[in-house]
Structure 1
Amino acid sequence: MRSNIWKGSISFGLLNIPVTLQTADQDRDIHFSMLDKKDLSRINYKKFNAQTGREVPYERIVKGFEYEKGRYVLVDENDFKKANVKATQTIDIEDFVLLSDVDPLLFQKPYYVAPQKGAEKGYFLLRDALKKTKKVAIAKIVIRVKQHLVMLMPRDEYIVLEILRFAHQIKETDDVDYLREIKGTHTHYNPRELKMAEELIAGMTEKWKPDKYKDTYYNDMMKLIDAKVKAGKGHEVFMPTKEERIEPTSNVMDLMPLLKKSLAASKGKSSATEKAPRAAHKKKAASSSRSARMH
């Protein structure tokens, strides 16, 4: 099923080419869950209200910008769109450059660009123009309320969009301590050693075939995991239901449900425990009242 990351248009001179962005990379990382070594229970990370200590459901979370210490203004999705409607709906081509002039350090994340229905002519026109001129397009796009610098380039029959880092996001070599230390260093080596190194490079030079290179670490790790499963070394991990989940005990308020649950077996003790705080509160209030009258 097609999953649109972004939907809008490429602005190319007077041309407006409706397109969508589709993910080009695959998540092939091995993901591990955090477990408590004591009982193999899952470690959960939740969002809590800083005032009450209670968990906040996703649908109740809003974005706020702190414009001065402790004061926020709320911003919603409509506000982001209103900020610059054109920026959120178009890929604005600003320049055309040679691919060889773009520093690979700037490359960040690729996407496939797909034409929307009826936009094929403009799409393929841009693709073929890029191929014929051997150029790539530099543009800007807003994805999820953040503006990105991007590069549009032809790849086989399609157009690929590569998100680029802005120049200020790359460290200059002088900002890297070790590189700064070795700058200007001259190491002496035998000319014959250089010649042998050149011959070694020539002997190992191949045509670039990305499919040739495999993630051997991923394959080896999965074999190890499969072997553990087949050897019966798997463990059942406790997954509490919503009702059983323990609330965090960051303050006195959060302790009350736990105390009540722990003392439920002893009705008398539970009753006494509930009355004691109320009596103490009345006593404290009375004491405060007497103190106020004295003053």
Structure 2
Amino acid sequence: MAKAKSDPDAGKAASSTRSLWKGAISFGLVHVPVALFSATSETDMNFKMIDKRSMDPVGYKRINKKSGKEVAMADIVKGVEWEDGQFVLVSPEEIEKAYPKTTQTIEIEAFVPIDQIPFVYLEKPYYTAPVNKGQKVYALLREALAATQMVGVAKVVISNKQHLALLMPCGPALVLNLLRWGGEIRSWSALQLPPQGAKEAGIKDAELAMAKQLVKDMTTSWDADQFRDSFHEAIMRLVEDKAKSGQVEQVETIAPESGGGSGGQVVDLTELLKRSIAGGTRTPAAKSAPAKKAPAAKAPAKKSAPKLRKAA
């Protein structure tokens, strides 16, 4: 009996309707006004520290690690370790000056084939959604990327931090997936890895054939709901049982801060596309470079990286 097709959203966390950021996607001379929404719901257990005598929340003190005494905020400065035990102090004004300028723009630097992006660089996904009557140009960019199997490599500033990101179609959405910078990926050259290639690694034909058959036997369609955080679910069942039996304590909570920004404006799409194709857009090489970074570590070879596939 054939298994009924499951709801693609079954088992997923509820959608977030609170925008984290508002601005625009920019490519060529075209701007797509969008809002950014969290695409994930963390399942890590975040145990809070509570004083059992008073049921008050317990925070972390700023402690001098040598004397063991608490340090006043006014006596704390920030430093970056230069060499072992030697630090360079940086003032708040110097840190503020180095912060990237918040432009409220997801600025696409270039478009690259989706299968050239190694999974190791992916860090955190966000949904984008059109605002201010930007539905048509949003859909145009989504469909163009899907049809060409390309993704947009972009830079974006979120919470005063500059990120490299991919803008990629995923179903009806354009997903902004933050990337790790090139220098953040460690090289595998120091690891004792077997050589690539079956013969080079000493694998016999019969061994490879059996391994391929095992992979085939275990092959199925992707269903994220089959893979759940069992520890989180076990703890939440315990919490629910205790709550139902009345084992609940009142602890003071602190409301999170709200945020938001302003969106962009929609202009004549056809005209901007024509001007961009005619040379009205800047090339990646012509863009101003971000703050100078340390030399990037050698990236993993592309041929060994798993391929990204467009979501259904």
TM-score over 0.5 for the pair? yes
Give the match for residue 223 of structure 1.
237
- Report whether the alignment pairs 1:74 with 2:92: yes
Distance 1:200 1:238, change over 3 A: closer
Q: Does 1:95 align with 2:113?
A: no
Let me know the Cα RMSD of the aligned residues.
4.2
Normalised by the length of structure 2, the TM-score is: 0.59
The one of 220, 224, 240 aligned to 1:210: 224
Using structure 1 for the length normalisation, give the TM-score. 0.62
Structure 2 counterpart of 1:212, one-letter code: Q
Q: 1:187 to 1:140 in 2, by over 3 A?
A: closer
Query: CA 1:48 to 1:141, structure 2 compared with 1: closer, same or farther past 3 Å?
Result: same
Within 5 A, what are the aligned runs for 1:1-295? Answer: 2-34=17-49, 43-47=58-62, 53=70, 72-75=90-93, 84=101, 88-176=103-191, 178-179=192-193, 188=202, 190-226=204-240
**Higher RCO (C-alpha under 8 Å, 6+ residues apart):** 2
Contact map agreement 1:64 1:75 (CA 8 A) in 2: no
Contact 2:113–2:150 (CA under 8 A) maintained in structure 1: yes
Instruction: Report the more deviating stretch, 203-212 or 99-108.
Output: 203-212
Distance 1:121 1:215, change over 3 A: same
- Could you say which structure has the higher helix fraction? 1
Counterparts of 1:16 and 1:39, CA distance in 2: 54
Residues 118, 71 of structure 1: CA spacing in aligned structure 2 closer, same or farther, 3 A cutoff? same
**Which range is displaced more, 186-195 or 154-163?**
186-195
Contact 2:77 2:89 in 1 (8 A): no
Counterpart residue identity of residue 191, structure 1 = D
- 1:246 corresponds to which residue? none
1:138–1:151 CA contact under 8 A, matched in 2 = yes
**CA offset at residue 228 of structure 1?**
6.2
Q: Deviations over 1:19-71 (max 9, x none)?
A: 11110000222222346899998643034799x94665xxx9999788x9786
Give the CA deviation at 1:217.
2.9
- The unaligned stretches of length 5 or more in structure 2 are 1-15, 81-85, 253-312
User: In percent, how many aligned pairs have the same letter?
Assistant: 33
Cα gap change, 1:70 to 1:97, in 2 (>3 Å): closer
Q: Which moved more, 1:184-193 or 1:129-138?
A: 184-193
Larger Rg computed on CA atoms: 1
Pick closer, same or farther for the CA change 1:103–1:238 going to 2, 3 Å: closer
Give the conservation status (yes or no) of the 8 Å contact 1:65–1:75.
no
> Which segments of 5 or more consecutive residues in structure 1 lack a partner in the other structure?
240-295
